[in-house]
Amino acid sequence: MEASQTAAQAAAGPSIQITQGTLTQVGDDLRLALRFSRAVPVDQLQVSAGRVICAALDPRLATDPIACTQRFPAAGEASLLTRSQRRPAFAKLGRLRLRLLATGDSMIQIVDSYLAQRLERRRKTSVRSDARVGTGISKPAQLDWVKKARRQAGGVKPDVTVMSIGANDGFPMRTPSGSSGPCCGAARVMEYARRVESMMRSYRRGARSRVYWLTLPVPRSATFAEVFRGVNEAVVKAARSFPSGVRVLDMAKVFTPGGAFRRTMVFRGRKVNVRQSDGIHLSSASASSAATLGIERLRADRLLPRLR
């Protein structure tokens, strides 16, 4: 394990080292105590500047950019406390009865097919796909996703919801007070986050379900890139209301590391075509990779036993 201070220093190695670690089990929780090579003031921990501390207890996830969840102590506290998510009621020992909903706009397409292909090989596991092409959270006149999420949660009753949406979300948004926020300023991000938070709450079904929300990789178009940045910022902001039960899977970091669009890249030792010709949607190969990352995250969260 190691700690990194800035993205610029990452190539040269970490600025501090973890010199000692003690892992103990307390009930159903794991308690990890770390000692660093120097003091780490709390105000130095800042995700936006790339100054983070990440510990991956599963070696398979140590190099996975979406596997680490950072939690930062408040000023004056000496400890950083985290705890693993408890297995929900639907995750039975040895066997999982799982209803998974894969939903969103066209960004979830192909990903949903790979999820169904791989997960439905498991007994008593079903995947329901509900992709609404051309819709968006900022376009309620076409489809009100806040209401749609409530209907899906009540009808499908998913144990897990995987969401990817936002390719069409460059439209102004009206707040409950009647003001309008154009894309992609702070007021609009706040309103988008408010709606996403409402959707996450619906999919959580009173803490009976888990939500995995995929961010949008940087597109080729600069105009779309601005929209996608606002969408991703709002999703991260909304997820903070759910310290457990909602995970944001950072597809932007996976497929557009450094915030730069790329058509091809090396993913786990294999060169793949990342995007379709429109420069927006994931290629089949990347959609397959996204599904793989999602399934690995489910397994790391103790929701899936290994395939035999």
| Three-state DSSP state, 95 | strand
Domains in the chain, CATH or no CATH each? 3-61 (no CATH), 91-300 (3.40.50.1110)
- From residue 247, give the alpha-carbon distance in Å to each of 16, 272, 280: 28, 26, 23
pLDDT of residue 9: 44
95 neighbors 124 (Cβ within 8 angstroms): yes
- Residues 54-90 pLDDT 10s: 665 655 454 554 445 444 454 445 555 555 556 666 6
Q: State the pTM of this model.
A: 0.75
* Cα 31 to chain centroid, rounded: 24
Instruction: Output the pLDDT for position 5.
Output: 39
Choice among 46-50, 234-238, 245-249, 264-268 with the minimum mean pLDDT: 46-50
Handedness of CA 77, 19, 12, 265 (dihedral sign): negative
- State residue 131's pLDDT score: 97
- Higher per-residue confidence, 197 vs 17: 197
Q: How confident is the model at residue 97 (pLDDT cuts 50, 70, 90)?
A: confident
